[in-house]
Structure 1
Amino acid sequence: MKQSDIFRDNADNCLQLAERAEGQPAHKRYSRMADAWTALAHEQDWLDGEIPPIAGRFPHQRDA
């Protein structure tokens, strides 16, 4: 199993916990954790060369 798949599983677990959370603070906390795990999975896919880097992420400096 790829590392990014493990991260996505963690995100799914957090979403399940968010659905069962009692109270808004816990729900928000688990939702933010799911977002963080998803971001880590995306980053790991990039590190593994499965997705290309985002083009134009850094502006080009122009000569004056």
Structure 2
Amino acid sequence: MKQSDVFRENAENCLQLAERADGQPTFKRYVRMAKAWMALAEEQDWLDGEVPPLTIKTA
């Protein structure tokens, strides 16, 4: 399994925990964690060469 897939699984686990959170602060914390795991997954895909680097176009 690719490292980025592991990161995406972690993000999904965080979202599942967010659904069961007791309060708003806990919910928000799990959502932030899920976003962080997804960012890591996207970066890992880039590092692995699966996603081309972002190209900035100038006018």
TM-score, L = length of structure 1? 0.87
The residue aligned with 1:41 is 41
| Aligned sequence identity (%) | 72
Structure 2 alignment gaps of length 5 or more: none
Counterpart for residue 22 of structure 1: 22
Alignment RMSD? 1.2
Find the counterpart in structure 2 of residue 62 from structure 1.
Answer: none
Letter in 2 for 1:51: V
Query: For residues 2-53 of structure 1, what are the alpha-carbon distances to aligned partners after superposition, in whole Å with 9 as ceiling and x for unaligned?
Result: 0000000000000000000000000000000000000000000000000001
Where does structure 1 differ by over 4 angstroms across 4 or more consecutive aligned residues?
none
**How does the TM-score come out when normalised to structure 2?**
0.95
Aligned residues: 58
**1:54 aligns to what?**
54
Question: Which residue in 1 is equivalent to 2:12?
Answer: 12
| Equivalent position amino acid for 2:55 in 1 | A
